[in-house]
Chain A
Amino acid sequence: FFFVGTFCISASIKTINRHTMDKSITLPPDEIFRNLENAKRFAIDIGGSLTKLAYYSTVQHKVAKVRSFDKATKEAASDKLYEISVQEEVTARLHFIKFENAYIETCLDFIKDHLVNTETKVIKATGGGAHKFKELIERKLGLKVDKEDEMTCLIKGCNFVLRNIPHEAFVYAKHADSEFRFQTTQPDIFPYLLVNIGSGVSIVKVESEDKFERIGGSSIGGGTFWGLGALLTKTKRFDELLQLASKGQHTSVDMLVKDIYGGSYGSLGLTGDLIASSFGKSATADKEFSKEDMAKSLLHMISNDIGQLACLYAKLHNLSRVYFGGFFIRGHPVTMHTITYSINFFTKGEVQALFLRHEGYLGAIGAFLKGAEEDNPNQYSWGENYAGSSGLMSVSPDMNPMQRARSGTFDMLEMDRLERQLVNLPLLQDPSSYIPDTMDLTEDALAREYWLYCFEEALDGVVKRAVASQPDMPEAAERAEKFRQKYRHKLQTLRHQPFAYGSLTVRSLLDTREHCLNEFNFPDPYSKIKQNENDIALKYYQKAVKSLEELSWEERQFALVRGVLAGNVFDWGAKAIWHLGLIYLFIFFSSERPWLVDSYDQWLERLRGPPHKCALFFVDNSGVDIILGVIPFVRELLSRGTEVVLASNSGPALNDVTNGELQILTERIAAMDPVIQAGLREDRLTLVQSGSSSPCLDLSRLDKVLAQVVRERQTDLVIIEGMGRAIHTNYYAMLSCESLKMAVIKNSWLADRLGGKLFSVVFKYEVPAGKPSQGSAAVTPS
């Protein structure tokens, strides 16, 4: 059975002594060493206590494809717009597995037995243990061990995760609402300082992909904590030492400033509680000191020292980003806290201590990349697969004893190669401060509770939908059940460890669900519903356009906006069949202005001015939304002389219209509507894919082609539609051009949060500061 990506391989494993190589462990092969059949490019990083294995594999996935019916065969087919087929697609995936060195032999045996691909001849190896286990690996796997430089691997790995994993780096704040504050991916990750705390400490300045230098180091590191700790407390286990430390009081062992001066040393700015001398009290006192107190004092001593060294090197080299990694950190809250404290103390906030979610994997990732250079992995973008990854654990010993036990066994990270390279939207006002998500659920406990509950409640419906989407497959029910278990477990984990995958957000909850669905071969549960909705909506298209054309210019502008909003009411797989009654109800509601957020007047004023050069429109749902809401709106823009770029999802997510579907829909609409047809023909209406398969929108990870088109066409208006893209994400996003965010709040809790009611309308038109609205030109178009 599985256990959220990390595997408590059956009861037997928990009882065995981790210090011996127990060959009797039976690993659940499919769950840990996944996709071994096609594995290639092995890499291994053997540290002092943990082994990290990396390999590249291909995964066969079912994907739903849409295709226009062949004109010739159209008569034979039903009256459906397009045909849906499920195809097998092969995608690339990186697997990383971390386990204790004690299991290495067992793991190697297992891998050997399941390696069917004999093409692989070498295994890249790095880490201090690489030379110790070289012979064993070569004998067991029959692969030649090819040693790679440890530091090079570490840096390569670090660059890779910083570039490819959103929310990889975080700031630790013990007393804040949320312990972890995740950083958004920076467009430019260099230069930075990496402080790697293994047995000793290496301080490395990284200036570019290939340029780094070990500028310093210290012998006072994790090994010192462990070694001195073992001597002082007779406790041999590293984790136990940390546990002791977390319970201790350093003040009984350390000599504080106040112990010497009776208080603070004001003229030097030293407070009384500052440690003047680590272990200073044990020099003269004749009493016995508790193990806990000594361990705590030792932890403080080492963390403070490393913190100070890191600061000094950062200052000396003018670096403001300092990442900490190595086994001494390994997510231990006590350690992260003392290091953060020390950095803050020494730099007065000028330098931030940053930690990495996947720091344990850096060496393995780097070694893998060294071996895979001919595949050129850096030319692709990669995304963390939430379904296959264990996630970050708080290893605070007191907090989660269950999770704690888990960390001793196996931990996994999986990354999917994304089809296309992802970049920032060029129109972001400040890419480095852009945060897609509106609400950080790691910080807001109340909101977290609510959304976790929501997603749990909705799970039955999603499972039903998934089963229903594959009526011809008898095992669908079984797979759906597996999906349910996996996703429910993820939700439970997130309830205890909200920061497991970076900041917990509605977006990450949605994305995790999509990843889990894909994992169990439900690539597009809504494909048939979308098809159906599109079919029906299309029938009303001409009628809708005609009635809009009959309106006056001003009436029409308002009707177009309400059309988009009304279409958007049907979202998120709400109802299988839309019924007009609800639409009318909404239209009735929405006619009452002012809306919850209402800058319609400014928008209208702007429309009286000169046309925009080009509008980028991030669309939302299939059916009514896209066909009767968005397309007429787009049509009006085109008529004004504005070019339009329609950006839709690359892959399926809920009932959102995908790029594939939208291609077919626009073709069909073009056949009915000369305005759309002319737009397509004259290349004034362009369809691009967003690069995403999420119901939300991360403007810092968009398809490279989209960015290019946006730049070429001098886009000066960005329209974002729907709750997922304009409320859950991007509500506060600042763009360097005009933007319009339109959504209907279809969740009463959220409406309440924002001070409105269910079905409240958000219509947010913004002009960046310094760019005067052009509406004042007041040119009324004919």
Chain B
Amino acid sequence: IFFSTSRHTMDKSITLPPDEIFRNLENAKRFAIDIGGSLTKLAYYSTVQHKVAKVRSFDKATKVNIPEAASDKLYEISVQEEVTARLHFIKFENAYIETCLDFIKDHLVNTETKVIKATGGGAHKFKELIERKLGLKVDKEDEMTCLIKGCNFVLRNIPHEAFVYAKHADSEFRFQTTQPDIFPYLLVNIGSGVSIVKVESEDKFERIGGSSIGGGTFWGLGALLTKTKRFDELLQLASKGQHTSVDMLVKDIYGGSYGSLGLTGDLIASSFGKSATADKEFSKEDMAKSLLHMISNDIGQLACLYAKLHNLSRVYFGGFFIRGHPVTMHTITYSINFFTKGEVQALFLRHEGYLGAIGAFLKGAEEDNPNQYSWGENYAGSSGLMSVSPDMNPMQRARSGTFDMLEMDRLERQLVNLPLLQDPSSYIPDTMDLTEDALAREYWLYCFEEALDGVVKRAVASQPDMPEAAERAEKFRQKYRHKLQTLRHQPL
């Protein structure tokens, strides 16, 4: 139903599968919304009732009194209901905002909630709509503060949040282990424009630079040059183009490399330099590619210079211009490597799209003190990172245009490093990285698939008293099998 509607109109006829997207709305509180130029990110906090298996020693007293009644088991097992806290994050295109708000309103039973934290450039544009639809007061939060808060949160709580992109390596993505000390770092947020923020501690950050040449420039100039109005289509064009037909290379000027300056012949001397004098027509693909290179290189250089100027070696890139697009990540990584000769690493974030929403949520939830807990990504409820390379997974691609989810469970106890680790920053728990080892990956995915039937059987058998157990076990089988299939295509 979803996929057939035009994304550019606000189609009210979309019927959302409520349980699957806006989950646990009944107990939802502390809403936060981040409205960007094209995507809306909604966050809320909810409680989830779960069955948990508890074990308990038999009571000495009862044991003595009724020894006959009790078996000779060591301890007793009981299934109890437990309420845990969960964070929900949903991302969808701005086009769906009205429909989504309607849906939320209909399912909001908890009337305790009075305000919704809002951030992002679109917050003031949609303020009135949100207040009218949800009956909640929109409380605007500073965009940059939210972004940084969110970034700190994911870096601290989500293992393998940050990754390095390497197009030609065995594994495109190389994930970083969580660092005990995440500060200081540089955040380069590429939205319509670019903000370059130095983050020194949880509360201390400064926008040290920025640029007007950002995602909006790619989109805007791209639209003018190619008459293609869709951002994703522009990226698709770019991925097929040859920038060398539009750009003037060093060799176009000097007939080869410019050795004394260390400039190789293939280096771009002037972006769009050839279109200045040539009378021919240029293909849309080539122009889009040249534009992408121009912008990515520029941002890369600026990021490097700011990193050097402030002595920062970790640079995270976020914002809609990146949004997991391999072409963009590749050109930015290339540019960073070129300018810093490897001294600075370009790091991307799996959940960069959610940073603002997470931050806004955290601002609102400060009294709950979410930072005192540890949080874990719930793999079952989260969509996961997708390769949005247009050619690779057209199906997945379509999905990215609609809804994407992240769920995080609050862990009962705070988690820290084992103090005896020799070097916490280089510690990697896993012995084998299946993303890098295709053969091993094949083997293990096969193994887990083979074992699935057994696991289902075991699950059903564990709850002999519950007649619907078989049905639930079937749902589990489907979900896990789907995850395995996804992982086969997207090991990341």
Contact = CB atoms under 8 A, between A and B. Distances in A.
Contacts of A304: 211-212
Q: How large is the interface on B (under 10, 10 to 19, 20 to 34, 35 or more residues)?
A: 35 or more
A312 B287 contact: no
Interface stretch (B49-57, B167-175, B180-188, B252-260): B252-260
Contacts of A220: 213, 271, 294, 298
Nearest to A254: B212
B270 A227 contact: yes
A270 B206 CA distance: 13
B193 interface: yes
Contact of B271 (A216, A223, A289): A223
Interface in B220-275: 220-225, 229, 231, 246-248, 253-255, 258, 260-263, 268-275
Contacts of B287: 231
B247 A219 contact: yes
Given A219-B268, A278-B216, A149 B273 contact: no
Nearest to A277: B216
Contact of A267 (B142, B258, B268, B282): B142
B472 interface: no
B153 interface: no
Contacts of A218: 297-298, 301
Interface-central residue, A214, A219, A278, by most chain B CB under 10 Å:
A219
B273 A227 contact: yes
A231 B306 contact: no
B356 interface: no
B269 A219 contact: yes
B270 A253 contact: no
Contacts of A226: 272-273, 276-277
Pick from B213, B215, B217, B220 the residue with the most CB of A within 10 Å. B220
**Chain A contact patch, size range:** 35 or more
A272 interface: no
A713 interface: no
Contacts of A228: 221, 225, 271-272, 275
Contacts of A269: 207
B305 A309 contact: yes
Contacts of A217: 263
Contact of B215 (A149, A277, A316): A277
Interface string A409-424: 0000000000000000
A278 B308 CA distance: 26
B212 A309 contact: no
Contacts of B421: none
Contacts of A253: 220
Contacts of A227: 246, 248, 270-276
A202 B262 CA distance: 12
Main secondary structure of the interface of B (DSSP, over half): helix
Contacts of B219: 279-280, 283-284
Contacts of B248: 199-200, 223, 227
A221 B212 CA distance: 16
A226 B273 CA distance: 7
B364 interface: no
Interface string A261-284: 110010111100001111111111
Contacts of B268: 200, 219
A217 B247 CA distance: 15
B124 interface: yes
Given A226-B276, A309-B305, A275 B142 contact: no
A224 interface: yes
A624 to B, nearest CB: 63
Interface in A266-323: 267-270, 275-284, 286, 289, 294, 300-301, 304-305, 308-309, 312-313, 315-316
A230 B247 CA distance: 14
B273 A283 contact: no
A539 interface: no
A576 interface: no
A152 B216 CA distance: 39
A529 interface: no
A305 B211 contact: yes
A269 B208 CA distance: 11
B253 A199 contact: yes
B359 to A, nearest CB: 14
A282 B305 contact: no
Contact of A255 (B216, B222, B254): B216
Given A219-B297, A227-B273, A277 B207 contact: no
A232 interface: yes
A671 interface: no
Contact of A315 (B216, B272, B275, B309): B309
Interface in A303-351: 304-305, 308-309, 312-313, 315-316
Given A255-B193, A282-B221, A224 B214 contact: no
A462 to B, nearest CB: 49
A65 B289 CA distance: 71
Contacts of B282: 231
A230 B275 contact: yes
B216 A279 contact: yes
A280 B217 contact: yes
A278 B220 contact: yes
A139 interface: no
A426 B276 CA distance: 52
Interface string B184-203: 00000001110100000000
Nearest to A214: B261
A316 B301 CA distance: 13
A224 B272 contact: yes
B29 to A, nearest CB: 27
A260 interface: yes
A187 interface: no
A276 B216 contact: yes
B144 interface: yes
Nearest to B282: A231
B217 A279 contact: yes
B402 to A, nearest CB: 20
Nearest to A204: B261
Contact of B212 (A229, A267, A278): A278
A215 B205 CA distance: 29
A220 B210 CA distance: 16
Contacts of B261: 151, 202, 214
A279 B193 CA distance: 10
B209 interface: yes
A666 B254 CA distance: 63
Contacts of A236: 276-277
A594 interface: no
B270 A232 contact: no
B309 A278 contact: no
B193 A280 contact: yes
Contact of A289 (B215, B224, B298): B224
Contacts of B247: 219
Interface in B130-160: 142-145
B381 interface: no
Contact of B217 (A128, A149, A261, A301): A301
Of listed B143, B262, B293, residue having the most chain A CB within 10 A = B143
Q: Which one of A151, A269, A276, A279 has the greatest number of beta carbons of chain B within 10 Å? A: A279
Given A268-B195, A305-B213, 11 more contacts: A217-B263, A218-B301, A224-B294, A226-B273, A227-B274, A231-B275, A255-B216, A277-B214, A280-B217, A312-B209, A315-B309
- Nearest 7 interchain pairs by C-beta: A223-B270, A277-B216, A227-B272, A279-B220, A280-B216, A223-B273, A283-B219
27 contacts: A131-B255, A198-B270, A199-B276, A200-B268, A200-B271, A217-B263, A219-B271, A220-B213, A224-B272, A227-B275, A228-B275, A230-B276, A231-B275, A255-B216, A261-B121, A265-B143, A267-B144, A267-B145, A268-B144, A278-B193, A280-B193, A280-B212, A280-B217, A280-B220, A283-B192, A309-B302, A312-B209
Interface of B: 121, 124, 142-145, 191-193, 195, 207, 209-217, 219-225, 229, 231, 246-248, 253-255, 258, 260-263, 268-277, 282, 287, 293-294, 297-298, 301-302, 305-306, 308-309
